[in-house]
Amino acid sequence: MVIPVDDPGDPRLEVFRRNERGLANRPDRRDDAGAGLFLAEGDLVVERALRAGCTAVAALVDDARPPAVAHRLDTQAVPVYAGGERMRALVTGLGVPHAIIAVFRRPRRPTVAGLVAAANRLVLVEAVDNPVNVGGIVRNAAGLGWDGLILDGTSADPLARRALRVSMGQAIGFPHARLRHLAEAVEQLRAAGFTVAALTPAADGVDLADLAAQPPAARLAVVIGAERAGLSAEVLAAATWRVRIPMAGGVDSLNAAAASAVACWALRPAVPRAQLSGSAGPGDEPVDEPVDEPVDDAVG
């Protein structure tokens, strides 16, 4: 049943007022079993969360024009609260609130070992702490047919609100694993027969085009680091190749998300994942929320 609410201070709406740490604290985000909550904004992201099998806790919708997906939640006995735009803006802190937001339980995620065993194309990120970049990397990897993502302990959460917004909800169903030190994952990948290409702006790196021209590796991973610091010495030393994206004079590097798109396209699998088809289009609504944090994680 849809429950009308007109008071933004209503205690039943408390979960929608939580910040990222209120939804999932650090131990929750480290838990592969699926502890804590995440917030899905917009009908497309809510739909993808439901399609991925996530369990909804509550939803807040536009009382004048509730989207169709709200009825699915209602039939699952999930409390669906409805209110006007002003009330929802005060609750969510968004100037223009979505017609629906919903809180879900965080799903179980694979371990690094499980992901390494199941995948043939992986993206690894180290110290990419901006959720906008992580969301962009997820969307690029998923859209170009890669199998999953491995993050170190300092990188942003793929299920953070802004990462989900930028990935258009792809991060919910896209397999990702986390461990404290990325060099350990690189070692596991090498032992499992992966070729590991670590992106770097260093002039002595192999040109990405030259690597792409070689016969494709059966199992391949691309590693992306943050701007300024780049990848750690341990990760660079453990990789098979140190790879650069050539840049025009006076430009040091690309943004991390942009670099992931270039590398994932150049080294894309010959046969994309079976569950992926088509390309970005009408089904992917534009990201219409302003980005108010600098996007400064980049690689060359």
Domain ranges for the chain:
18-105, 112-266
Torsion of CA 291, 292, 297, 300, to 10 degrees: 60
Amino acid at residue number 132: V
CATH code of the domain occupying 112-266: 3.40.1280.10
What is the fold, at CATH topology level, of the domain defined by 18-105? 60s Ribosomal Protein L30; Chain: A; (3.30.1330)
| Distances, alpha carbon 222 to alpha carbons 49, 252, 258, in Å | 27, 19, 13
Q: Is 21 exposed, middle or buried (0-12, 13-18, 19+ CB in 10 A)?
A: exposed
Global pTM reads 0.89
Per-residue pLDDT of the chain (300 residues; tens, 9 = 90+): 789 999 999 999 999 999 999 999 999 999 999 999 999 999 999 999 999 999 999 999 999 999 999 999 988 889 999 999 999 999 998 888 999 999 999 999 999 999 999 999 999 999 999 999 999 999 999 999 999 999 999 999 999 999 999 999 999 999 999 999 999 999 999 999 999 999 999 999 999 999 999 999 999 999 999 977 889 999 999 999 999 999 998 888 899 999 999 999 999 987 665 543 333 433 444 444 433 333 333 343
**Could you tell me if 256 and 137 are in contact, meaning their C-beta atoms sit under 8 angstroms apart?**
yes
Torsional sign, CA 73, 79, 82, 86: negative
| Distances, alpha carbon 172 to alpha carbons 33, 75, 231, in Å | 14, 22, 26
Beta bridge partners of 198: 223, 242
Q: Return the closest-CA partner of residue 203 out of 253, 254, 266.
A: 253
